[in-house]
């Protein structure tokens, strides 16, 4: 097992993590970065595993990784964090074996994952999240299908449309729940820095022939894989009008999702304070805007884990957390105050834009009504909505109670896929809010890890 | 919501659920008040072994009665993955043999049928147990249940009588009137009943104190690990042989749940984990993870590549002699059933029966004085 003592440990190698590592290293700290990907970059800056960067985004990510390495950041790729112990110790499982880190400060830039809501047919092959579809396209240019329907809500759908267009796989259809048209345009008009990006996304969206606004996919149909989808409009009262469904045939891939959820497992395991806001992805780690400090001394958070806002604020909040963590260790550069002020101002603008955009594309309140009693909610454990309803009417309560009696969220993914749905279903069934329904607290291990790796990581006593 | 009942049961762990079922069956309107979710505290964290093996000599008649009661519940409501898989207790060293033989002698004298097996015989029962043990005891009648579904089933039985279950109701104080119990104060308001049973595990003592009843219960950390689900690899409940001379040299339990997950824990160093506060549930500690995985792989080396999935920590309620405090306590109408000592699952049905018999004035099937709530005060006075 490799044991590493470092000043600052950064978890996550996306825009936030790489920026944090660079800023901290430049301030003079010894920095190690752990990232689950085979190459740094995260989803946003995902690198082609074989070829050189082929897009502007990939080139930007490659440059950020190079800059971090040049500043003496040690990057541990392909390593998953599985445990955090109170003695400022993190255990990870890397490609060459177990890793143990002892840090003085920790920056969590773990990012986010797709927010998923089940519906009839969602487990058919060919149905995937927009994030998964984009990953296929970014990792080696694989198109998820030949006639792709892109569905759900949020500006990320446009980014996926652009990625797919970039590999010659423009979707056949876009089904958006939102109807906002003018508001996003007004928002973008106030942020000139975003015009180029917005125009590119707009062109990608316009290239999609069949575009529906104010519609949701109510069902995926098919035998061995998805062959058609059923869509229905959202009426004025916000309900999904299933009396006016329409079937779209000839679809062989459905990319459907409702934005992202912050990946809070590590910050929650470390008992940092969290808060809930459905419009920034649900539960997120509370962090000070200027420093990234969480409620626990020595632990900082940056990027999407602090609330979904996009890559630009992720980079800025990463840089801020990096210089703050270094400064708190006594590594204060001469231009510290000045740099911090500039970064903080830019972060404020960027985050305001990202969050305002998120609020323009809310998840429909009625979305959980798509789930039928027979619909599988928890794929790992084959738990259906009817099972959850029965448990709740049998006297249990909340996400935790539903889990104990039905096993929803007890399987391999530990609720990463079904967590949003279970909370929304529990809230709808028991007349409470998704926030009050709660979430499953993460426990050690944060990711499944082989027993022999666990033993190696814990056997030799404390570091 | 019913604000008045014949009896209130505080706590919907397995003891509270069993008590509610027993009281509802004898015709009472019962209200179960649970501060969290049913089975969400130490009951749900339990490895829920239903057996008599290497437990407590004096409790053997009650344990035997309990095992039969669980089998009977399974016949009536087979919804909690009851599996009479048998139990092995492995011996790592020759010097454990005498203790094993002593236990076997005691249990056989009580009409039970444990035996001592050599490693080859052990492997015939548990093929994956290829680690270098010297022998193991075998208790063929031990069973396991799914703890969540067992609690749910007992609550279903209670509800099919005339019980209501309220989750998310924290009982803050007992209410007495003229020296008699009159109800409870909760986060949802006052509930009235002339009988209150506290089955609150490690929270029992604090609630009892609101009626000036002192109970010698301390909370103790209980930890467990689970792998991802896998094909059948473990058939029985595997534990460590209980050491001689009353000194507990540690504790191991390993089994595979119906879900395919391997559930396991090992506590070394005297077998006693740290005390703490049931309000703040911490993470598992490093040494516990190490010892548990180490012991599992010592016995089942082929599982080295299996993925660990989850860990959990709860607080069990411990009394000075490791037996329940079950029976009337303090003001008339107040009863207590708590003090699982980490093996409360099997005993829960017996504790429920004792409470019901005490309330109804009927004769219990086994002696109940072992659990007398006042036994420590009486001893101190003597």
ipTM of the complex: 0.94
Alpha-carbon gap, residue B178 to B176, rounded angstroms: 7
The verdict on a CB contact (< 8 Å) between B307 and A448 is yes
How distant is the Cα of B152 from the closest Cα of chain A, in angstroms?
7
In this complex, the residue of B40, B148, B304 whose CB is nearest that of residue A451 is: B304
Q: Please, are residues B222 and B229 in contact by the beta-carbon 8 Å criterion?
A: no
Task: Residue B137: count other Cβ atoms within 10 Å of its Cβ.
Answer: 27
Q: Please, are residues B146 and B80 in contact by the beta-carbon 8 Å criterion?
A: yes
Q: Which residues contact A440 (CB under 8 A, 6 or more apart)?
A: A399, A400, A403, A409, A414, A415, A419
Give all strands (DSSP E) within A395-437, no chain letters: none
The verdict on a CB contact (< 8 Å) between A445 and B310 is yes
- CA-based nearest residue in chain B for residue A447: B309
Q: Please, are residues B264 and B45 in contact by the beta-carbon 8 Å criterion?
A: no
CB of A209 within 8 Å of any CB in chain B?
no
- pLDDT value at residue B268: 78
The owner of tokens 């003018």 is A182
**pLDDT above 70 for A462:** no
Distances (CA, A) of A278 to A236, A272, A317, A424: 21, 19, 21, 11
User: Could you tell me which of B38, B29, B35, B25 has the C-alpha nearest to residue B7?
Assistant: B29
| pLDDT class of B269 with cuts at 50, 70, 90 | low
- Chain A residues in contact with B229 by the CB 8 A cut-off are 411-412
Mean pLDDT of chain A: 94
- pLDDT value at residue A463: 41
Q: Which residues contact B127 (CB under 8 A, 6 or more apart)?
A: B235
| SS3 at position A184 | helix
- Chain B residues in contact with A458 by the CB 8 A cut-off are 286-287, 289-290, 293
- Chain A residues in contact with B290 by the CB 8 A cut-off are 455, 458-459
Same domain for B303 and B257? Answer: yes
How distant is the Cα of A269 from the closest Cα of chain B, in angstroms?
8
In this complex, the residue of A269, A396, A443 whose CB is nearest that of residue B37 is: A396
Distances (CA, A) of A92 to A35, A82, A101: 10, 5, 8
User: Could you tell me which of B9, B121, B82 has the C-alpha nearest to residue B345?
Assistant: B82
Give the pair of three-digit tokens for residue B289: 């993870």
CB of B96 within 8 Å of any CB in chain A?
no
Which residues face B87 on adjacent strands?
Answer: B139, B237
CB of A336 within 8 Å of any CB in chain B?
no
**pLDDT above 70 for B322:** yes
- pLDDT value at residue B251: 83
CB of A364 within 8 Å of any CB in chain B?
no
| A151 sits in which H/E element | strand A148-152
Domain boundary among B318, B345, B370: B318
Alpha-carbon gap, residue A83 to A204, rounded angstroms: 41
The verdict on a CB contact (< 8 Å) between A454 and B308 is yes
Q: Please, are residues A74 and A27 in contact by the beta-carbon 8 Å criterion?
A: no
**pLDDT above 90 for A376:** yes
In this complex, the residue of B148, B165, B303 whose CB is nearest that of residue A451 is: B303
Judge whether B80 lies within some domain: no
The hierarchical CATH code for the domain A118-257 is 3.50.50.60
Task: Residue B282: count other Cβ atoms within 10 Å of its Cβ.
Answer: 13
Domain boundary among B288, B318, B348: B318
pLDDT tens sequence across B119-142: 999 999 999 999 999 999 999 999
Q: Please, are residues B299 and B134 in contact by the beta-carbon 8 Å criterion?
A: no
Backbone dihedral angles phi then psi of residue B325, each to the nearest 5 degrees: -105, 110
Alpha-carbon gap, residue B357 to A159, rounded angstroms: 69
Give the pair of three-digit tokens for residue A204: 């990608």
Distances (CA, A) of A444 to A214, B252, B284: 42, 20, 8
Same domain for B312 and B325? Answer: no
Alpha-carbon gap, residue B325 to A300, rounded angstroms: 47
CB of B2 within 8 Å of any CB in chain A?
no
The verdict on a CB contact (< 8 Å) between A443 and B283 is yes
The verdict on a CB contact (< 8 Å) between A401 and B284 is no
- CA-based nearest residue in chain A for residue B289: A458
The CA-CA-CA angle for residues A264, A265, A266, to 5°, reads 95
| pLDDT class of B377 with cuts at 50, 70, 90 | confident
CB of B296 within 8 Å of any CB in chain A?
yes
Over pLDDT 70: what percentage of chain B?
Answer: 95
Architecture of the domain defined by A2-113+261-358:
3-Layer(bba) Sandwich (3.50)
CB of B155 within 8 Å of any CB in chain A?
yes
DSSP string, B40-74: TTHHHHS--EE--TTS-GGGHHHHHHHHHHHHHHH
Q: Which residues contact A158 (CB under 8 A, 6 or more apart)?
A: A201, A202, A204, A205
Domain boundary among B302, B318, B334: B318
Alpha-carbon gap, residue A116 to B271, rounded angstroms: 44
Same domain for B352 and B293? Answer: no
- pLDDT value at residue A185: 86
Same domain for B235 and B333? Answer: no
User: Could you tell me which of B302, B281, B294 has the C-alpha nearest to residue B252?
Assistant: B294
Region A356-361: mean pLDDT is: 90
In this complex, the residue of B284, B294, B304 whose CB is nearest that of residue A444 is: B284
- Chain A residues in contact with B44 by the CB 8 A cut-off are 404
CB of B228 within 8 Å of any CB in chain A?
yes
Alpha-carbon gap, residue B292 to B309, rounded angstroms: 14
User: Could you tell me which of A248, A258, A257, A245 has the C-alpha nearest to residue A147?
Assistant: A248
Same domain for B154 and B167? Answer: yes
The verdict on a CB contact (< 8 Å) between B309 and A414 is yes
Alpha-carbon gap, residue B20 to A39, rounded angstroms: 57
- pLDDT value at residue B169: 95
Q: How far is CA B190 from the centre of its chain?
A: 30
For chain B, the domain total comes to 2
Region B335-346: mean pLDDT is: 94
Judge whether B368 lies within some domain: yes
User: Could you tell me which of B162, B11, B81, B165 has the C-alpha nearest to residue A394?
Assistant: B165
| pLDDT class of B379 with cuts at 50, 70, 90 | confident
Task: Residue B186: count other Cβ atoms within 10 Å of its Cβ.
Answer: 19
The verdict on a CB contact (< 8 Å) between A400 and B37 is yes
| A9 sits in which H/E element | strand A2-11
The verdict on a CB contact (< 8 Å) between B293 and A455 is yes
Region A124-129: mean pLDDT is: 98
User: Could you tell me which of A9, A85, A46 has the C-alpha nearest to residue A271?
Assistant: A85
The verdict on a CB contact (< 8 Å) between A443 and B39 is no
pLDDT tens sequence across A81-107: 999 998 899 999 999 999 999 999 999
**CB < 8 Å from A in window 163-192 of B:** 165-168
**pLDDT above 80 for A255:** yes
In this complex, the residue of A381, A443, A455 whose CB is nearest that of residue B311 is: A443
Which residues face A255 on adjacent strands?
Answer: A128, A150
User: Could you tell me which of A36, A246, A202, A228 has the C-alpha nearest to residue A145?
Assistant: A228
Q: Please, are residues A463 and A89 in contact by the beta-carbon 8 Å criterion?
A: yes
The verdict on a CB contact (< 8 Å) between A405 and B149 is yes
Give all strands (DSSP E) within chain B, no chain letters: 7-10, 30-34, 49-50, 87-91, 115-117, 135-139, 143-144, 163-167, 171-177, 180-186, 189-192, 195-198, 218-229, 237-240, 251-256, 261-267, 307-318, 325-328, 334-338
Give the pair of three-digit tokens for residue B10: 């505080």
Residues of chain A with CATH 1.10.10.1100: 366-432
Lowest mean pLDDT among A29-38, A291-300, B215-224, B247-256: B247-256
Instruction: Give the CATH number, domain containing residue B307.
Output: 3.30.9.10
| pLDDT class of B248 with cuts at 50, 70, 90 | very low
Residues of chain A with CATH 3.50.50.60: 2-113+261-358, 118-257
Judge whether B82 lies within some domain: no
CB of A397 within 8 Å of any CB in chain B?
yes
Same domain for B269 and B247? Answer: yes
The owner of tokens 């008992």 is A271
User: Could you tell me which of A153, A152, A197, A145 has the C-alpha nearest to residue A171?
Assistant: A145
Judge whether B68 lies within some domain: no
Q: Which of A186-195, A327-336, B117-126 has the highest mean pLDDT?
A: B117-126
- pLDDT value at residue B281: 74
Alpha-carbon gap, residue A371 to A429, rounded angstroms: 12
| SS3 at position B230 | coil
pLDDT tens sequence across A45-88: 999 888 888 888 999 999 999 999 999 999 999 999 999 998 89
In this complex, the residue of A395, A445, A462 whose CB is nearest that of residue B308 is: A445
Give all strands (DSSP E) within A329-402, no chain letters: 376-378, 383-384
Task: Residue A95: count other Cβ atoms within 10 Å of its Cβ.
Answer: 10
The owner of tokens 């969400």 is B40
The verdict on a CB contact (< 8 Å) between B310 and A404 is no
Architecture of the domain defined by A366-432:
Orthogonal Bundle (1.10)
Range of the domain at B290: 87-140+218-318
CB of A455 within 8 Å of any CB in chain B?
yes
- Chain B residues in contact with A442 by the CB 8 A cut-off are none
Alpha-carbon gap, residue A432 to A438, rounded angstroms: 10
Same domain for B223 and B116? Answer: yes
Same domain for B227 and B312? Answer: yes
How distant is the Cα of A459 from the closest Cα of chain B, in angstroms?
6
How distant is the Cα of B161 from the closest Cα of chain A, in angstroms?
14
Query: How many Cβ pairs closer than 8 A exist between chain A and B?
Result: 111
Region A260-279: mean pLDDT is: 96
How distant is the Cα of B163 from the closest Cα of chain A, in angstroms?
11
Peptide bond into B243 cis (omega under 30): no
User: Could you tell me which of B17, B89, B73 has the C-alpha nearest to residue B46?
Assistant: B17
Rg (CA), chain A: 22
- CA-based nearest residue in chain B for residue A391: B152
**pLDDT above 80 for B336:** yes
- pLDDT value at residue B1: 54
CB of B48 within 8 Å of any CB in chain A?
no
Region A305-332: mean pLDDT is: 97
Lowest mean pLDDT among A299-313, A379-393, B238-252: B238-252
- CA-based nearest residue in chain B for residue A398: B37
- Chain A residues in contact with B155 by the CB 8 A cut-off are 394-395
| SS3 at position A437 | helix
Instruction: Give the CATH number, domain containing residue B359.
Output: 3.50.50.60
The owner of tokens 């599996």 is B83
Same domain for B283 and B304? Answer: yes
Judge whether B161 lies within some domain: yes
Decide: residue B123, CB within 10 A, 0-12 exposed, 13-18 middle, 19+ buried. Answer: middle
Where helices occur in A148-284 by DSSP H, the ranges are 156-166, 182-189, 195-206, 265-269
How distant is the Cα of A438 from the closest Cα of chain B, in angstroms?
12
* Maximum distance among all Cα pairs of chain A, rounded to whole angstroms: 66
Alpha-carbon gap, residue B165 to A370, rounded angstroms: 30
Q: At what angle do helices B147-161 and A398-406 cross, to 10 degrees?
A: 100
In this complex, the residue of B165, B166, B283 whose CB is nearest that of residue A444 is: B283
pLDDT tens sequence across B61-89: 999 999 999 999 999 999 999 999 999 99
- pLDDT value at residue B245: 44
pLDDT tens sequence across A199-239: 999 999 999 999 999 999 999 999 999 999 999 999 989 99
Distances (CA, A) of A120 to A128, A218, A220: 13, 7, 6
**pLDDT above 90 for B293:** yes
């Amino acid at each position: 097992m490799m044991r590493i003592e470092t000043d600052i440990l950064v978890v996550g190698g996306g825009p936030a993590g790489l920026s944090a590592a660079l800023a901290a290293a430049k301030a003079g700290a010894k920095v190690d970065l752990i990232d689950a990907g085979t190459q740094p970059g995260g989803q946003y800056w995902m690198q082609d595993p074989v070829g050189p960067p082929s897009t502007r985004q990939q080139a930007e990510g490659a440059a950020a990784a190079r800059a971090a390495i040049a500043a003496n950041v040690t990057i541990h790729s392909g390593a998953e964090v599985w445990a955090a112990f109170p003695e400022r110790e993190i255990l990870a499982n890397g490609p060459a074996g177990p890793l143990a880190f002892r840090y003085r400060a920790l920056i969590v830039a773990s990012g986010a994952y797709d927010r998923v809501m089940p519906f009839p047919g969602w487990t058919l092959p060919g149905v995937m999240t927009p994030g998964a579809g984009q990953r296929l396209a970014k990792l080696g240019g694989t198109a998820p299908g030949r006639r792709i329907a892109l569905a759900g809500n949020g500006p990320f759908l446009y980014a996926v449309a652009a990625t797919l267009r970039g590999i010659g796989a423009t979707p056949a259809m876009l089904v958006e729940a939102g109807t906002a048209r003018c508001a996003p345009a007004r928002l973008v008009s106030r942020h000139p820095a975003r015009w180029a990006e917005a125009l590119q996304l707009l062109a990608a969206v316009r290239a999609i022939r069949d575009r529906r606004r104010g519609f949701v996919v109510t069902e995926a149909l098919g035998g061995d894989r998805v062959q058609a989808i059923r869509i229905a409009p959202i009426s004025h009262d916000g309900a999904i009008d299933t009396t006016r469904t329409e079937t779209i045939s000839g679809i062989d891939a459905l990319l459907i999702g409702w934005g992202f959820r912050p990946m809070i497992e590590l910050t929650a395991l470390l008992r940092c304070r969290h808060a809930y806001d459905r419009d920034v992805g649900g539960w997120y780690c509370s962090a000070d805007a200027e420093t990234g400090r969480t409620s626990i001394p020595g632990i900082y958070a940056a990027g999407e884990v602090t609330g979904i806002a996009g890559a630009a604020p992720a980079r800025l909040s990463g840089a801020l957390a990096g210089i703050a963590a270094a400064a708190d260790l006594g590594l204060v550069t001469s231009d510290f105050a000045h740099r911090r002020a500039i970064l903080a101002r830019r972060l404020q603008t960027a985050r305001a834009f990202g969050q305002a955009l998120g609020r323009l594309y809310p998840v429909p309140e009625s979305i959980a009504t798509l789930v039928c009693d027979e619909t599988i909610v928890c794929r790992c454990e084959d738990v259906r909505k009817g099972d959850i309803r029965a448990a709740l009417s049998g006297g249990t309560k909340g996400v935790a109670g539903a889990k104990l009696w039905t096993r929803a969220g007890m399987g391999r993914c530990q609720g990463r896929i079904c967590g949003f749905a279970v909370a929304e279903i529990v809230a709808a069934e028991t007349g409470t809010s998704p926030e009050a329904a709660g979430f499953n607290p993460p426990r050690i291990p944060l990711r499944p890890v082989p027993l022999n790796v666990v033993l190696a990581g814990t056997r030799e006593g404390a570091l | 919501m019913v604000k008045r009942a014949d009896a209130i049961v505080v706590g919907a762990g397995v003891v509270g659920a069993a008590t509610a079922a027993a009281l509802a069956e004898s015709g009472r309107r019962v209200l179960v008040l649970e501060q969290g979710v049913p089975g969400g505290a130490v009951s749900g964290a339990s490895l829920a072994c239903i057996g008599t093996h290497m437990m407590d000599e004096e409790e053997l008649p009650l344990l035997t009665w309990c095992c039969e009661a669980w089998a009977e519940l399974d016949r009536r409501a087979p919804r909690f993955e009851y599996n009479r898989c048998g139990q092995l207790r492995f011996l790592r060293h020759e010097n454990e043999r005498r203790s094993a033989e002593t236990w076997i002698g005691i249990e056989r004298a009580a009409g039970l049928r444990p035996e001592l097996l050599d490693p080859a015989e052990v492997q015939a029962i548990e093929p994956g147990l290829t680690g270098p043990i010297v022998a193991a005891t075998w208790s063929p009648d031990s069973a396991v249940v799914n703890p969540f579904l067992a609690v749910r089933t007992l609550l279903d039985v209670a509800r099919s009588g005339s019980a209501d279950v309220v989750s998310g109701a924290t009982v803050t104080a007992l209410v007495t009137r003229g020296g008699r119990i009159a109800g409870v104060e909760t986060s949802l308001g006052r509930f009235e009943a002339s009988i209150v049973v506290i089955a609150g595990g490690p929270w029992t003592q604090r609630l009892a104190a609101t009626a000036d009843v002192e109970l010698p219960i301390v909370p103790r950390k209980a930890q467990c690990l689970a792998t991802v689900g896998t094909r059948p690899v473990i058939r029985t409940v595997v534990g460590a042989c209980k050491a001689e001379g009353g000194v507990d040299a540690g504790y191991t339990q390993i089994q595979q749940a119906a879900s395919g997950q391997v559930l396991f824990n090992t506590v070394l160093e005297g077998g006693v984990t740290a005390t703490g506060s049931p309000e703040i549930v911490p993470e598992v500690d490093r040494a516990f993870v190490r010892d548990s995985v180490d012991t599992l792989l010592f016995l089942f080396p082929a599982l080295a590549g299996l993925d660990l999935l989850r860990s959990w920590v709860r607080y069990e309620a411990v009394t000075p002699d490791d037996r329940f405090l079950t029976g009337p306590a303090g003001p008339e109408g107040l009863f207590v059933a708590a003090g699982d000592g980490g093996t409360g699952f099997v005993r829960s049905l017996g504790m429920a029966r004792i409470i019901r018999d005490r309330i109804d004035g009927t004769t219990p099937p086994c002696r109940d004085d072992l659990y007398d709530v006042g036994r420590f005060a009486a001893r101190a006075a003597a």
